[in-house]
Amino acid sequence: MITIEHLTRRYGSQLAVSDVSFSCPPGTVTGFLGPNGAGKSTTMRVLCGLAEPTSGTATIAGRRYRDLPNAGRHVGVLLDAGAQHAGRTGRETLALAAMVLGVPRKRVDDVLEQVGLAGPAAGKRVGNYSLGMRQRLGIAAALLGDPQVLVLDEPANGLDPDGIRWMRGLLSGFADRGGTVLLSSHLLHEVEAVADRLVVIAAGRVVAAAGKDELLAGTGTVVRARDGAALGRALVAAGIAAEPADDGALLAGTDAEAVGLAAARAGVPLLELRAASGAGLEELFRTLTQGGDPAVPHLQEARA
């Protein structure tokens, strides 16, 4: 469990993070979203003991990172994949880390295999690694101590499409085995594909924190009928606001059940009925982080 409570961090007069509170329960992947400079890295750095909070707390399993005995056995951290020593090979980098953590040497080969760097890649100097390879090595280092918690800042950065799919499977599997994942990313579709929960931060403040489905349900429902006009009348009759979407569909401002019932009551057969995800997360992100009028006002209170 990761718990952030009333966390504030200033850099001089710059307020990087302001009264941030959220938690990440075991068995879930939490996507941490926000525009550049929103405060994601600062929050993660404080959580991992790399920066001091000005006030508030950030704990893992109830303890500050620095108070965890052999922290790497509890928390795998990837904050800056470029931080590895360029002159060492991937295998040497992990072997050193394994010594520090006190994990068996065999574990190095296991994680190299797991991240797709086994074979010749493991013997290359990190300075000659591509960005995606450095990222994989950083993930291997995070996994080395077999932790229950992962804190990953932009782990998909530089990964190719296969790598991104691999990462998705890795994180889902980790959470399915009861692990806790906090993951920041600018790749909204990727986050949407893998996260169970979302925390959105803007200008240092949490603007939404809730289950992904709950958040996206607030972005409405895409509904389409052969007879669009009849569908429009059915929604109006049910008091459901709607606006035109792509391909003659309508975007209705409520959940799929209410829309489906309204159409059924009016005897309008539907061709499509689904939560407005995909563009939904982008729209939600834009609304929440640009200070617009949120389409999902109740989410402001839905803090976890």
Ligand X SMILES: Nc1ncnc2c1ncn2[C@@H]1O[C@H](COP(=O)(O)OP(=O)(O)OP(=O)(O)O)[C@@H](O)[C@H]1O
Q: How far is the CB of 14 from ligand X (least distance, A)?
A: 5
Applying the rule CB under 6 A, the residues between 257 and 276 that interact with ligand X are none
Q: Which is nearer to ligand X, 12 or 69 (CB)?
A: 12
Sign of CA dihedral 77, 81, 84, 88: positive
Residue 115's nearest CA partner among 74, 170, 185 is 170
- Give the integer Cα–Cα distance in Å for 139 and 171: 11
Q: How many other CB atoms are found less than 10 A from the CB of residue 13?
A: 5
By the rule CB under 6 A, 40 interacts with ligand X: yes
- Give the integer Cα–Cα distance in Å for 172 and 168: 6
Q: Which of 38, 48, 208, 251 binds ligand X (CB under 6 A)?
A: 38
Q: Which is nearer to ligand X, 39 or 163 (CB)?
A: 39
Q: Which is nearer to ligand X, 154 or 192 (CB)?
A: 154
Applying the rule CB under 6 A, the residues between 143 and 202 that interact with ligand X are none
Residue 184's nearest CA partner among 35, 39, 40 is 40
Q: Which of 2, 16, 143, 159 binds ligand X (CB under 6 A)?
A: 16
Applying the rule CB under 6 A, the residues between 53 and 72 that interact with ligand X are none
Q: Which of 41, 148, 180, 289 binds ligand X (CB under 6 A)?
A: 41
φ, ψ of residue 57 in degrees (nearest 5): -135, 155
| Number of shown-chain residues binding ligand X (CB under 6 A) | 11
Q: Which is nearer to ligand X, 13 or 161 (CB)?
A: 13
Residue 42 burial (C-beta neighbours within 10 Å; 0-12, 13-18, 19+): buried
Which residue has tokens 């999902």? 296
Q: Which of 6, 37, 100, 127 binds ligand X (CB under 6 A)?
A: 37
Classify 266 as helix, strand or coil: coil
Candidates 40-48, 52-60, 66-74, 206-214; binding stretch for ligand X (CB under 6 A): 40-48
Enumerate binding residues for ligand X (CB under 6 A): 11, 14, 16, 34, 36-42
